[in-house]
Structure 1
Amino acid sequence: MRTWLNALHIAVFLVAISVMPASAAEETLKVCLDEDLPPLSMHHRGIPDSGFDVALAQAVAARLGRPLRIQWFESKLDEDSSPALEANALLSDGRCSFVGSYALTRDSLVVPGVKTAKLPDFEGATGPDHRRRVELGVLAPSQPYIYSPLTIVLGPKARDRHIADVGDVAGLRIGIESGSLADAILMTFGNGRLIDDITHLVPGRDDLLGTLDRGDLDATLLDLRRFDAYRAAHPGTKLTGSGYFYPIGVNRGYAGLASDPTLLVEVNKALSDLQAAGTIANLAEAAGLTFLPPREPIILGDALMKVLQK
């Protein structure tokens, strides 16, 4: 009798699945995260997944009462890569509903100028996935959940230098990665006032913060996230944060598709609740990430270009 009842329960369950509404089958919150962006998100073989965005995605999913699935991907840092197109391809291919820690800028949210794009390398990708192109949609941002600025970091020989403006690094040995935003800012500052103090390093080849830590350079301007990551990996570092943040930074939030506005509303409500409760700040602190609350403008437009063109 018990065996017959068990078989009946299984049959009923299978029927229920077959008639389950599409919305119920899609209740899992799927979030795409960069596999190597500490302390935001980290996914490496043999090491538990970690990072601020992992914890935040878990908190958002819990607020929504949904299970969470993270789709890990690898973003290529080269001239041919486009973070906006990579994110759009992942979303448009259904790999996830949101891409985490997306930089909210006007350029990153414009309607794509191309109809299709290739997917970045993602966990579980097959050979055909690396070759096919995905028809793109239109991106829509969530409300921001953290502010990401550039900061000046000082080496051991300049640790006592007071920094209240970019010009205060004049006379120091400044290290900058070629082609970076910081490179453009410092090279154009004061009509080239700092050019003679600047040493250019090659991204991916030269260790900017390591060189600074050894005392071979005195100062640099870079993303605060990278300084946080370096301090976590090198607890004995001699580097010092200046406390100065370049006045134009970018908010980070989720990027989704404009074709799914209902889920975006739900996620925004969850983010608002978590922000109000102080949970987002606490998650950042636990991950070793300096938390700065989002600020205006919510979506960065051409303010930076105006500064660089002065």
Structure 2
Amino acid sequence: MRRRLVTCGLAALFAVLATAACAAEPLRICLDEDRPPLSAHRRGKPDAGFDVTLAQAIADRMGRPLKIQWFESKLDEDSSPQLEANALLSDGRCSLVGGYALTTDSLVAPGMKTARLPDFDGATREDRRRRVALGVLAPSRPYVYSPMTVVLGPKARERRIGDIGDLAGLRLAIESGSLGDAILMTFDKGRLIDNITHLVPGRDDLLGALDRGVYDATLIDLGRFDAHRAVHPDTAITASGYYYPIGANRGYVGLASDPALITEVNKALGELAAEGRIAELGKQAGLTYLPPREPAILGDVWKQIIQR
């Protein structure tokens, strides 16, 4: 009987130790190093941004220390946020990627088996060369809504915008191949085409040109306007207050092979949202915070745009 009690006691002790070890394991989250006010990693300055403070709040709820893996996502026509996130997760650089746009297109199984890693903090020359076998992505519940918004230059700041049609007559600039490009080019069977100038993402400074008055308006993700305003508090461009009806929620994405983690994160997000903490963290970071909207995962964006 005594031997049996000792065995049971040891089993219970090992279970407690295993749980403690699991709890002490860092929660590793990948964040873009240059997306203020969502996330920013600057040499000699403390890490900052909405996604940074939210990640810390979630780690605290889970009783785990936070470890951020910073990476660099390039804004160009060849970049793929889906493949970058998948490669980081599949390589074990992190267990979650924050600020991920939740769309059906961004969550489908990748069409290729491997992908290169984006540049990340601590990457070696070999890391930049090799390819990573990809997994399948799984989303968390959303924590912020990220719509497209019309941003106005100094010469058009008084223009009232209630619909895309109100941009008629303005000098419009848009980045080639972007979602905003598709919306403006297809609006009302191409009614705005003659007023649109296409810029090259990653090469041309869209918001800088708008700020200088070279163009009158553009259509971009609300987060990019917040980012520009954070870096240029004296900017001459202004938000119109108009949000395009089709927008995406943002949340975390992990690997489908670890559903328990997604469940834990969803529980923490649900508690923080109910307490109003997520909205509070967004406002503290200078984000134009909008709560998630239905549907949680946006369907075929391009089809919806063409059908409008």
Q: Does the pair score TM above 0.5? A: yes
Residues 41 and 52, structure 1, Cα contact 8 Å, conserved in 2: yes
- Provide the C-alpha distance between the structure 1 equivalents of 2:201 and 2:126, rounded to a whole number of angstroms: 30
The alpha-carbon distance between structure 1 residues 229 and 77, as it changes in their structure 2 partners (threshold 3 A), is closer
Q: Which amino acid aligns with 1:219?
A: A
The one of 147, 150, 167 equivalent to 1:149 is: 147
Residues 248 and 304, structure 1, Cα contact 8 Å, conserved in 2: no
The alpha-carbon distance between structure 1 residues 82 and 23, as it changes in their structure 2 partners (threshold 3 A), is farther
Q: Which residue of 1 aligns with 2:28?
A: 30
- Provide the C-alpha distance between the structure 2 equivalents of 1:303 and 1:207, rounded to a whole number of angstroms: 25
Identical counterparts, % of pairs: 72
SS at match of 1:254: strand
Q: Which residue of 2 aligns with 1:139?
A: 137
Q: TM-score, normalised by structure 1?
A: 0.90
| TM superposition shift of 1:20 | 6.0
| TM superposition shift of 1:22 | 8.8
Q: Which residue of 2 aligns with 1:297?
A: 295
Q: Which amino acid aligns with 1:190?
A: D
Q: Tell whether 2:83 aligns with 1:89.
A: no
- Unaligned runs of 5+ residues in structure 1 are 1-15
Cα RMSD (Å) of the superposition? 2.0
- Unaligned runs of 5+ residues in structure 2 are 1-12
| TM superposition shift of 1:23 | 7.9
Residues 77 and 201, structure 2, Cα contact 8 Å, conserved in 1: no
Q: Which amino acid aligns with 2:237?
A: L
Residues 141 and 254, structure 1, Cα contact 8 Å, conserved in 2: yes
| TM superposition shift of 1:79 | 3.9
Q: Deviations over 1:280-300 (max 9, x none)?
A: 111111111110111111111
Aligned residues: 294
- Provide the C-alpha distance between the structure 2 equivalents of 1:77 and 1:162, rounded to a whole number of angstroms: 30
SS at match of 2:166: helix
After superposing on structure 2, the runs of 4+ consecutive aligned residues of structure 1 that deviate more than 6 Å are: none
- Provide the C-alpha distance between the structure 2 equivalents of 1:215 and 1:157, rounded to a whole number of angstroms: 7
- Provide the C-alpha distance between the structure 2 equivalents of 1:221 and 1:303, rounded to a whole number of angstroms: 15
Q: Which residue of 2 aligns with 1:40?
A: 38
The alpha-carbon distance between structure 1 residues 119 and 303, as it changes in their structure 2 partners (threshold 3 A), is closer
Q: Which amino acid aligns with 2:293?
A: R
Q: Which amino acid aligns with 1:258?
A: A
Q: Deviations over 1:97-148 (max 9, x none)?
A: 1000011111111112222222111111122222222222111000000000
| TM superposition shift of 1:307 | 2.3
The one of 185, 189, 192 equivalent to 1:191 is: 189
Larger displacement relative to structure 2 (180-189 or 142-151): 180-189
Q: Deviations over 1:127-178 (max 9, x none)?
A: 2222222222111000000000110011222111111100001011111122
Within 5 A, what are the aligned runs for 1:57-76?
57-76=55-74
Q: Which residue of 2 aligns with 1:106?
A: 104
